[in-house]
Amino acid sequence: MSKLIYPYQNTINERFDFIDKWLPARYTGSVNIILKKQEDPDYIRKVRNRLINDEAVIDALYKVSLFNKIQVETET
C-alpha cells in the first residue's frame, strides 16, 4: 500500500469532494468577500481544480459551499 504524502490527505480530499458537490455556479465573488481582498477569479478557479494548494482560498471555497448547502436544504 502506498503511504499518504500529506498526513491530512484524507481530510483534504473530503473537503474537495464537499466543495465539488455543493459549490454554486457563481462563487468567485463570494470567495472574495470571505477573503476580504480581491483575488483574481482565474486563480480561485485554479485552486478549486486542485492545481494550487492555498489554504485561505480552500477555506473560503469550503465556507461558500457550506452556505450553499444550508441554503438549498432550508428551501426544500
Each residue of 20-54: pLDDT tens digit? 999 999 999 999 999 998 999 999 999 998 768 88
> In the numeric block, which cell numbers belong to residue 8?
491530512
d(CA 41, CA 34): 14
Q: Would the pLDDT of 68 be above 80?
A: yes
The residue among 23, 21, 19, 15 whose CA lies nearest residue 68 is 23
pTM: predicted TM-score of the whole model, two decimal places: 0.82
CB 68 within 8 A of CB 22: yes
d(CA 16, CA 50): 8
